Each structure stands twice: as structure tokens, then as C-alpha cells.
Amino acid sequence: MSEQTDPAQRHSVLIVEDRLHTAHRLRAAIEARPELYVCGVAHDLATAWTMFERQKPRLVLTDLGLPDGSGVEIIAAAAAAEWDCDSLVVSVFGDRRRAMEAIRSGAKGYLLKGETIEDMGQQILEVIQGGSPMNPKIARYLLNVLGPAGETGEVPEDQRLTQRELEVLSLVARGYKRREISEFLDISVGTVGIHINNTYKKLDVGSNIEAVARASKIGLL
């Protein structure tokens, strides 16, 4: 067995999705990636809690609208877990209030059903590697809700971004992925990552979503 498929090197994913057909598609997409495996599939919040505590997944992939509650609860638990655990939302965008709750509770990314399921394995790896995949529709909504009306005045010296960092963050806010940004700006993917990490440090945030929200609030975007 190669190092890439060594079970010790693989990342566990807990799927929380009440629609059986969607859960099946998500599982197939995730298990198509040798770096990942599905440690459980829960169709309601109660089962998700049991699996979460027992399996201690590396990532929780969750819908928000569940028969017995909201996926936001699992997202908050992932953010507070004693082990490394990220969360990624895959849902519809009908309930904007719940979408904001998910982002504020610690979701590392927000994707829409029907558009990204087949690429879900890659999106999950992006989160584990420090990225925050975000559907462009969600990005636009964030910019509208958390726009520059929140704070005024001069940006503090330690939060000022370079021109290139602003260019990268602007593309992130429009929903571009790291590889797409690298092609658009004619720089390496690694360099894109460096600019994003520098932006995180300057804005004191931990994800693309938080960076976009913070930059918008202080008038950088």
C-alpha cells in the first residue's frame, strides 16, 4: 500500500445530510479521493452527535436543515473540539440567517448543493490544508451584509494589506479558488497561499470567510 493510501495518512469525514440520495453522492465523491475516508453518515442531528463524539472526525461535512435541529450545532462543536476538526457546509441558500450563523459559528467554507458535490473531495482537502472554499453567491452575500459600513476611519498600520494581498483577497471574495487565482495573477499556488496566510495574520482571522468579512468591515474591500 502506498503512503498516499496508508490509513494512518488519511483524513476522516463525517457526513451529516438527511437526504439519502445526496448523502450517497457525497460519500462516493469523498471516497474517490485516496486521502479521505468516510467515518460515518448521519441523517439527523441526534445521530450526528453520537458519531461526532465516537469517531472524532477530522472534518464534518454538514447540511444546515436537519429533521431534528440545525447543522450549526455540529459546526460549533467542531470549532470547539479538543482535536483538529474543521467543518464545511454543503446546503441550499434559502435561509440566510442560518447561513450567517454557520459562518459565525466557525464553518470553514460554504458550498451549494448541486454545483460542487462531484468535486467535494477536493474541496475538503482544501479546507484541511487551510483553505476556505466559498460559493461566489455566498461571497457576494457576505460582502453585502458585512460591507464597509461597519467601521470607518483609517485602517491601523498592522492591518494594512499590500496591493498583491488585496488583489488575492478580492478574488477570494468573488469565489475564486487558489489555483484559479494563481492562473489569473500569473503566480504560483504556493505564493497565493503565502499572501492568504499573511492576510490572515494581519486581520487576525483564521479562514477566507472571516478575512472577507473583516476586510469588508474595515473598508479594505
CATH of the domain at 129: 3.40.50.2300
**Predicted pLDDT at 94:** 63
**Contact between residue 11 and residue 35 where contact means Cβ atoms under 8 Å apart:** yes
Query: Total domain count for the chain?
Result: 2
**Contact between residue 11 and residue 31 where contact means Cβ atoms under 8 Å apart:** no
* Domain containing residue 179: CATH number: 1.10.10.10
**Contact between residue 71 and residue 49 where contact means Cβ atoms under 8 Å apart:** no
Pair (101, 21) in one structural domain: yes
* Cα distances (Å, whole numbers) of residue 6 to 1, 9, 27: 6, 5, 19
**Predicted pLDDT at 8:** 62
**Predicted pLDDT at 108:** 86
Pair (107, 157) in one structural domain: no
**Contact between residue 112 and residue 95 where contact means Cβ atoms under 8 Å apart:** no
**Predicted pLDDT at 176:** 78
Pair (122, 209) in one structural domain: no
107, 138, 169 - which closes a domain: 138
79, 110, 138 - which closes a domain: 138
Pair (130, 153) in one structural domain: no
Pair (118, 163) in one structural domain: no
**Predicted pLDDT at 2:** 41
Pair (39, 94) in one structural domain: yes
**Predicted pLDDT at 112:** 84
- CA distance linking residue 104 with residue 93, whole number of Å: 16
Pair (133, 163) in one structural domain: no
Pair (96, 34) in one structural domain: yes
103, 119, 138 - which closes a domain: 138
Per-residue pLDDT of the chain (221 residues; tens, 9 = 90+): 344 455 567 999 999 999 999 999 999 999 999 999 999 999 999 999 999 999 999 999 999 989 999 999 999 999 899 999 999 999 876 667 777 788 878 888 888 887 778 888 988 998 898 877 877 777 767 666 655 444 444 556 667 888 899 889 888 877 777 888 899 899 998 899 899 889 988 888 877 777 877 777 777 76
Pair (133, 36) in one structural domain: yes
Domain that holds residue 97: 3-138
Pair (129, 60) in one structural domain: yes
Pair (60, 168) in one structural domain: no
Question: pTM for this one?
Answer: 0.70
**Predicted pLDDT at 77:** 93
Cα dihedral sign, 165-203-111-173: negative
Supply the DSSP symbol for 134. Answer: B
Pair (84, 155) in one structural domain: no
Cβ neighbours of 54 (radius 10 Å): 11
